[in-house]
Structure 1
Amino acid sequence: MDIETFINKEKKLKKVYYIYAENSYLRNKFKEEFIAEFIPEAIRDFNLSSVNPGDEYLKRLKNAVQTPPIGAEKRFIISHFEEGDSLNKGEKEKLLDIFKNINQSSTLVFLTANKIDKRKKFYRTLKNHVLYQEFETPRYGDLDQWIVSRFKEHGKKIDKQSLKILENMFSNKLEILNSEIEKIVTRYPDKDKISYYDIKKIISREKFIEDEEIFKFLDLIGDKRIDQALLTLKEMLNRGVYPLYLLTMLKNQIELLMQVKFYSQYTHDNRKIAKKINKHPYPVKKALQRSRNFTQKELEKILEEILRANYHFLTGYYPDQNTALEMIIIKSIAY
């Protein structure tokens, strides 16, 4: 269930909403939509408060949910747990007590990035006292629909090539994706359909180098086409792309190839492998094709060479990083 559907179905407010979403974009979106739908602007100054983790968190939360509303029927409290926030076992028990004893005129929205182990007693007890709801970060085909729907909200369509470019560049990092989509629709207020070339004018040049040229360059390495790979490398370096940046991209790609090659022993379905390693199916499909050019041992040797070079780059061992990177590429293709 998506956030809009959930909000629209809520006719009678509950005392506690316990909302899990690993992605901060979704947690913030729920908070914004809940406030817009259920909390009149006229009462927000005195009857809407935030209580977030920190010193004496549970004491502050307990006081907030027990405080009666001022000049209104309801008081609303929002508590937001980010990725680094957590509670120990004893604190969780106290949190349950707060949920159980919340004031009848209060509604608490508890947002968390921490997934609950549903086999444990905490979850079973929790379900008796709160409305528990999870919102999963969209992946694979759902991510396609999410991007399309974001453009649709602005009255725009997006072609398939543009859709894949955005997915490959930002994966399911919804905060970044949303920000880039906002930039695109703001730049083209009168266009009904956004094309690849429209996007290319908006997204930063560095990101397009990453998505277009670097992946073509990595394809050449995967195909062991040494002359063309070195020519492409020189062109990128001449345009000012940092050697260490290229080295990092190469490391990421080799690690992906190693993961995909390992799981290809069991299946050649790129979607199944993508789910195993939590990646989008498209780059996994490309990696499956590239991985056929290497043995697992060759990939391990290349990664070892890259990690050694990375250390030397950072310590200043190589005075000429461009030449050093060329030598690393030659070694990589030679394995």
Structure 2
Amino acid sequence: MEVKDFIENENKLKNLYYIYSADNYLRDEFKDKFIDKFVEENIRDFNLSIVQPGEDYFKKLSNAVQTPPLGSKKRFVISQLEAEDSFDKKAQQKLISIIENLDKTTCLLFLSSNSLDKRKKLYLTIKKKGSYFEFKAPKYGNLDKWIVRRFREHNKKIDKRSIKVLENMFSNKLEILATEIEKIITRFPDKEKISYYDIKDLISRERFIEDEEIFAFLDLIGEKKTDKALISLKEMLNKGVYPLYLLTMLANQIELLMQVKYYSQFTKNNKEIAKKINKHPYPVKKALQRSRNFTQLELERILEEILTANYHFLTGYYPEQNTALEMIIIKAINY
């Protein structure tokens, strides 16, 4: 369930909510939509308190929830909450006491990047007093829908190819995705349908060029085209791609190829492999095609060279990194 759906379906306000999400965007989205729906704008100055973790946290939280509402039936308190294991037993008991003695005129909302142990008293107390809910960043088809919905909210459509490009570049990092989508919408205010050709020269241009060229570069290595691979390498380096960044990108791709090649022994279905390795099906599909150019032993040797080079780069063993990178690629192609 998306945050928007949860808020829309929450018609009877509870006295307590504990919202867990590892994704900062989802926590912020919940807070904003919660305030928009339940906290009338004209009472926010007097009846909405934000309590942040830090010194005297429990004292501040206790004072906030004990303060009666002014000119309203409800007072709202929103607090970022740290992991429960970061509190000692005394602190946990203080928190439990605050929750157990929560007045009916107060609505307390906890937002946390940490889930609770469902066997412990804190979780059981929250469930008894209010609502505990977890939101996870969407994946696969749900991420497709999430992107489509963000464009639809601005009366825009986006083609499938553009969706896959966004997912391939930013995965399900919602905060970054939302920023890029906002950038696209701002750039094309009057355009109803956004295409791949619209976003190609817009979204994080430097990264887009690097990723696209790195994927093509990897193909040249797999096809054993030494001359073309070295030309491609020099072009990327001339554009300012750092050798260490390039090594990291290559290492990530080689590791993906190794995983995909292993599971391809059992299935050629990219969606099944994606579930096994917890990746989006789109990059897995591409990796499945590229993996045919390598044996597993070749991939292992290339990765070993890259990791060794990465270590030498960090320790300063290779003073001329560009030349060293060329030698590494030549060795990789000749395996």
Assess same fold via TM > 0.5: yes
- Counterpart of 2:310? 310
In the alignment, what sits opposite 2:62? 62
* Cα shift at 1:201: 2.5
> Is the CA contact (8 Å cut-off) linking 1:165 and 1:211 kept in structure 2?
no
CA RMSD in angstroms, aligned pairs only:
2.2
1:149 pairs with 2:149? yes
Contact 1:53 1:85 in 2 (8 A): no
- Judge which range, 230-239 or 267-276, deviates more: 267-276
Assess if the C-alpha contact under 8 Å between 2:16 and 2:130 holds in 1.
Answer: yes
Q: Deviations over 1:158-207 (max 9, x none)?
A: 11111111111111010011011111111111111111121122223211
One-letter code of the match for 2:86?
A: L
TM-fit CA distance, 1:93: 4.0
Count of paired positions: 334
Taking the aligned partners of 2:125 and 2:286, their CA distance within structure 1 comes to 46
Kept in 2, the 8 Å contact 1:162–1:199? The answer is: yes
Residue 190 of structure 1: aligned partner: 190
| Alpha carbons 1:18, 1:110 under 8 Å: kept | yes
* 3-state SS of 1:128 partner: helix
Distance 1:261-1:7 versus aligned 2 partners, 3 A rule: same
Distance in structure 1 (CA, Å) of the matches to 2:54 and 2:305: 44
Q: 1:220 to 1:41 in 2, by over 3 A?
A: same
Change (3 A) 1:132 1:304: same
Whether 1:320 and 2:305 are equivalent positions in the alignment is: no
- 1-structure distance, mates of 2:84, 2:149: 31
Matched AA of 2:105: S
- TM-score calculated relative to the size of structure 2: 0.91
Quote the residue 2:80 is aligned against: 80
Asked if 1 retains the 8 angstrom alpha-carbon contact of 2:3 and 2:30, the reply is: yes
CA distance in 1, matches of 2:160, 2:109: 38
Of residues 100-109 and 4-13 in structure 1, the stretch that sits farther from structure 2 once superposed is: 4-13
Q: Under a length normalisation based on structure 1, what TM-score does the superposition of the two structures give?
A: 0.91
Deviates more, 1:269-278 or 1:105-114: 269-278
Distance 1:260 1:95, change over 3 A: farther
Contact 1:67 1:103 in 2 (8 A): no
- In the TM superposition, residue 128 of structure 1 has moved relative to its aligned partner by 1.4
Amino acid at match of 2:202: I
Matching residue of 2:331: 331
CA contact under 8 A between 2:210 and 2:236: conserved in structure 1?
Answer: no
Distance 1:254 1:93, change over 3 A: farther
Structure 2 gaps of 5+ residues are none
Gaps of 5+ in 1: none
Checking the alignment, whether the CA contact within 8 Å between 1:147 and 1:163 is kept in structure 2 is yes
Matched, 1:44 2:35: no
| 1:168–1:211 CA contact under 8 A, matched in 2 | no
Rounded Cα–Cα distance in structure 1 between residues aligned with 2:85 and 2:153? 35
**Using the alignment, how far apart are the partners of 1:306 and 1:55 within structure 2?**
46
Percent of aligned pairs with the same residue?
68
Q: Distance in 2 between matches of 1:50 and 1:326?
A: 54
Q: In structure 2, how many angstroms separate the alpha carbons of the residues matched to 1:211 and 1:326?
A: 19
Listed one character per residue, the Cα deviations across residues 31-72 of structure 1 (whole Å, up to 9, x for unaligned) are 001111111111111111111211232232222212211222
Aligned to 1:28: 28
